[in-house]
Amino acid sequence: MIAAADGGTLFLDEISDMPADLQTRFLRVLQEREYRPLGSTQTIKANFRAIAATNRSIPEALAENRLRSDLYYRLNTFQIEVPPLRKRREDIPPLIAQFVRQFSQQLGKPEPDVSPDAFQKLLDYSWPGNVRELQNAIEYAVVLAREGVIGVKELPAEIQLPPALQQTELGGLPRKGVQTLDDLERNAILQALPNAVGTRKKRPNCSGFSGHPLQQAETLRD
């Protein structure tokens, strides 16, 4: 990693999650400006610019010994604090456009439009997971999008909640993160069930899925 950054920039994301022994080794590299590759007996001069980031409170990370104080002070030559996404909502529309374009290309789908109601939901949401949560939400919506439109029902369930209920429903609970394809399939089936009519054998036709996952979804629903 250090060799690859030679002459350039080494970016360390979530520095406070780095194991303590690695923090110690990295501090030594920063102080001595040299390192020894794995399996080698020779030291090599290190020539790179280090940038570190964390989404944790730095005072808390220091107090909990998640981040070594000597490493922090060695890195803290210049500090930039990026406000959470909820405090810079003007960034949300261009991020939505970028992620819709990105995931449409990755999935080989036509780029869907975002309905006004869905767009407002995305603007109103508090985004406790910041840009990564927005990215995951848009990927989820692009996967589910049909007829070229992302509506409210294509958004993750927590974003569909009214703003007044979001903290009540989600406060203190672990976040789901990226959902698996099985999760997406079950959610898509559950969305299709209320519009289905007739016997269980006929219901899968409206969603395009086979009877087996539908039975699993109905079991979950019951």
CA–CA separation, 98 and 108 (whole Å): 15
Average pLDDT for residues 106-121, to the nearest whole number?
95
Q: Compute CA distances 214 → 123, 144, 185, 194, whole Å.
A: 33, 17, 9, 13
Greater confidence, 177 or 136?
Answer: 136
Identify the three-state secondary structure at position 189. Answer: helix
* Cα distance between residue 12 and residue 3, in whole Å: 14
The span from the CA of 71 to the CA of 23, in Å, is: 7
Residue 219's pLDDT is what?
43
**Torsion angle of C-alpha atoms 78, 84, 89, 93, degrees rounded to 10:** 90
Span 4-30, pLDDT tens digits: 888 999 999 999 999 999 999 999 999
Residue 186's pLDDT band (cuts 50, 70, 90): low
pLDDT reported for residue 85: 94
What's the rounded Cα separation, in Å, for the pair 169 and 128?
13
Lowest mean pLDDT among 46-60, 147-161, 204-218: 204-218
* Residue 41, CA distances (Å) to 3, 5, 21, 152 in order: 15, 21, 20, 59
- The pTM of the full predicted model, rounded to 2 decimals, is 0.62
- Give the closest residue to 185 by CA, choosing from 220, 161, 158: 220
Q: What is the pLDDT of residue 174?
A: 41
54 and 47 Cβ atoms separated by less than 8 Å: no
